Amino acid sequence: MCGIIGYIGERQAQPILLNCMARLEYRGYDSSGLAMASGNIEVYKDSVRVNELAKRLPKIEGTAGIGHTRWATHGEPSQANAHPHCDCTGNIALVHNGVIHNFRKLREQLTAEGHNFTSETDTEVIPHLIEKYYQGNLEKAVEAALLEIEGSYALVVLRADEPKLVVARRDSPLIIGLGDRENFVASDVPAILDYTNRVIYLEDGEIAVVTKDDIQVRQNGRKLVKKEHQVSWSIEDAQKGGYQHFMLKEIHEQPKVIRDTLGDYISMVEPIVNFSALSSAPLEDMLFIACGTSYHAALVGKYIIEELVKIPARGELASEFNYFQQPSARTGVVAITQSGETADTLSAMKRLKGAGKKVIVISNVVSSSASRIADQTIYVRAGPEISVAATKSFTAQLMALYWLALSYSNVDISRLDSLVTELRQLPHKVQQILDNEEAIAKCAEYLSKYDNVFFIGRGISFPVALEGALKLKEVSYIHAEGYAAGELKHGPFALLGVNTPVIAIAPQDDTYKSMFTNIKEIKARKSPLIALAEEGNETIGEMADLVITVPKTEPIFSPVANVVALQLLAYYTAKQRGCPIDMPRNLAKSVTVE
């Protein structure tokens, strides 16, 4: 989820690169850097924002260069880990966006062959592979290097003595901007809109050689004729990738986030967490602590651990944790925080550490305060989340929890196999929900007229109900409550009636029969009912006023599909009500006070 830029033309590249990099900064990057070909390769980079980098740079002459804004994934934000990365000779420089799953193996091989590495990144193996295969033609060397790489990439390569940029993509966006005797490469359209609105979109598997007057695109050695597109976005629209709000963009990024996060875990040689290194005795139970949406992920985590690892687990609010007894020495403790800066979560972690407990954290931000306190961090690959309402980070946290549980699960190999296969299907299933967003927007139109809403779920869908209610209340300002479906009759029934819709999360797992009974009870009290039901459920339509259909999954994975549908429901309800979706009143993205 980093930003990439390349320039080759007749103008001085340095100011153009810096301007384009600044255009990508709305995402909140942690490092920046550029490389220029000016007889040799000159690289300047650090863990600073673009404006700070610009202040430090000398004037570098040259009409070709590459730039990068980094969101740390492998390795903390630091000068060494910032891009561009170079080979041993310093003649090849490269910027990369994506994840190289087999980088550990490649790094070992290349080290044995005499290559020296200077960073902790996965990216650095690529310039070394290109160096290894270089025999006077950069494009051929890049092609050969890419054959060895497993994972995703958008990359731009520059060599001191060849007046060209070589670019390639797989599962990570990359565009070429067309100018007059100059051309651009970028990960995002907004980067180059100050210079051109004529673009070519590279597709997976394509490699292009870009010079100032020419662009040659190839796939498997075959030359392609690419269509030129005119972009009509304003800069502001384009920063949201054409979406009206960051929240919608981030909801739509979830198939990729799931793929990237899982891909990363699947490629790990070591287990995701080494509990035996953290605790002398076998684990008896697990405790998750977190706030807000991350707390709801923690509650889903309880069900995942109990189902797959077969030990008791619980999720607790970090803000309440200080009033509880410390867990036992045989409790595995995992904090969950997207930002890694939430004061309540940090305070609970410090209290645990103060009592001698080992703490693991699941976080989206490398080198955050939480990861500095924790004994080990499990990173998720959600990328920068701009919208105040958390969406893609929740789904990424669930991926970490599934993988954590699978690593410690005793399920037999065929069940494990089928669970991993099903996990790999999730991006596709989430995409199906995104493709159905018009139907969800219609439900939102209906919902937007009400002032009070209940969300209900049972078992693993109970925290999904809590999350659905939180999303709706924070972005649409409708009062919403998440409830365990069986609890409604113990009080909230008094509020049911024609003006209080209920949203029932009803996967066909072993809670379905009881949920169906609850739905009947609700309908008897005349509340409008929206059901989230799996495809193939023919009966629920008889009871529900509206049905949102989601793809069928293994019961344990149903929160992923259901939560995406509820995120869209909240988004479109808020849009219908004209709310400031990305920045709801009184809320901040990172809550750094207790």
Active site residues: 2, 589
- The two tokens of residue 174 are 């990359």
Of residues 511-550, those binding ligand F6R (CB under 6 A): none
Residues in contact with ligand F6R, shown as a per-residue x/- string from 60 to 99 under the rule CB under 6 A? ----------------------------------------
Nearer to ligand F6R, 65 or 482 (CB): 482
Q: How far is the CB of 339 from ligand F6R (least distance, A)?
A: 3
Site size toward ligand F6R, by CB under 6 A: 14
Region of 10-18, 29-37, 331-339, 563-571 interacting with ligand F6R (CB under 6 A): 331-339
Handedness of CA 390, 396, 399, 404 (dihedral sign): negative
Nearer to ligand F6R, 341 or 422 (CB): 341
Under rule CB under 6 A, residue 292 binds ligand F6R: yes
Region of 154-162, 292-300, 477-485, 553-561 interacting with ligand F6R (CB under 6 A): 292-300
Show contacts of 19-23: CB within 8 Å, 24+ apart.
19/194, 20/67, 20/184, 20/186, 20/191, 20/192, 20/194, 20/195, 21/50, 21/67, 21/68, 21/69, 21/191, 22/50, 22/51, 22/54, 23/190, 23/191, 23/192, 23/193, 23/194, 23/235, 23/239
DSSP string, 199-237: EEE--TTEEEEE-SS-EEEEETTEEE-PPPEE----HHH
Residues in contact with ligand F6R, shown as a per-residue x/- string from 153 to 192 under the rule CB under 6 A? ----------------------------------------
Phi, psi of 377, rounded to the nearest 5 degrees: -115, 135
Q: How far is the CB of 330 from ligand F6R (least distance, A)?
A: 26
Region of 7-15, 259-267, 287-295, 435-443 interacting with ligand F6R (CB under 6 A): 287-295
Under rule CB under 6 A, residue 567 binds ligand F6R: no
Q: How far is the CB of 24 from ligand F6R (least distance, A)?
A: 23
Nearer to ligand F6R, 292 or 559 (CB): 292
Nearer to ligand F6R, 91 or 338 (CB): 338
3-state secondary structure (DSSP) of residue 340: coil
Task: For tokens 């659905």, name the residue.
Answer: 468
Question: Which amino acid would we find at residue 577?
Answer: R
Under rule CB under 6 A, residue 474 binds ligand F6R: yes
Nearer to ligand F6R, 284 or 341 (CB): 341
Nearer to ligand F6R, 157 or 370 (CB): 370
Region of 3-11, 164-172, 333-341, 488-496 interacting with ligand F6R (CB under 6 A): 333-341
Nearer to ligand F6R, 200 or 333 (CB): 333
Q: How far is the CB of 251 from ligand F6R (least distance, A)?
A: 12
Per DSSP bridges, beta strands 285-290 and 331-337 are parallel
Largest CA distance in the chain: 80
Region of 86-94, 202-210, 217-225, 335-343 interacting with ligand F6R (CB under 6 A): 335-343
Under rule CB under 6 A, residue 339 binds ligand F6R: yes
DSSP string, 473-532: HHHH--EEEEEEGGGGGGTGGGG-BTTB-EEEEE-SSTTHHHHHHHHHHHHHTT--EEEE
- The two tokens of residue 475 are 């972005």
Task: For tokens 């651009």, name the residue.
Answer: 184
Q: How far is the CB of 345 from ligand F6R (least distance, A)?
A: 5
Region of 95-103, 332-340, 516-524, 565-573 interacting with ligand F6R (CB under 6 A): 332-340
In angstroms, the CA 474 to CA 244 distance is 18
Q: How far is the CB of 479 from ligand F6R (least distance, A)?
A: 16
318: nearest Cα among 338, 348, 340: 348
Question: Which amino acid would we find at residue 284?
Answer: E
Nearer to ligand F6R, 191 or 390 (CB): 390
Under rule CB under 6 A, residue 342 binds ligand F6R: yes
The dihedral over CA atoms of 531, 535, 539, 544, expressed in degrees to the nearest 10, equals 20
Report whether 367 contacts 406 (CB < 8 A). Answer: no
338, 367, 476, 527: which one binds ligand F6R (CB under 6 A): 338
528: nearest Cα among 536, 519, 537: 519
Of residues 373-402, those binding ligand F6R (CB under 6 A): 389-390
The interaxial angle of helices 462-476 and 292-308, nearest 10 deg, is 170
DSSP string, 20-81: HHHHTGGG--SEEEEEEEESEEEEEEESS-HHHHHHHPPP---SEEEEEEE--SSS-SSTTT
14, 69, 81, 345: which one binds ligand F6R (CB under 6 A): 345
Phi, psi of 33, rounded to the nearest 5 degrees: -170, 160
Does the bond joining 15 to the residue before it have cis omega, within 30 degrees of 0? no
Under rule CB under 6 A, residue 319 binds ligand F6R: no
Q: How far is the CB of 347 from ligand F6R (least distance, A)?
A: 12
Under rule CB under 6 A, residue 369 binds ligand F6R: no
Region of 227-235, 285-293, 435-443, 563-571 interacting with ligand F6R (CB under 6 A): 285-293
Under rule CB under 6 A, residue 294 binds ligand F6R: yes
Under rule CB under 6 A, residue 291 binds ligand F6R: yes
Residues contributing to the site for ligand F6R (CB under 6 A): 291-294, 337-339, 342, 345, 389-390, 470, 474, 591
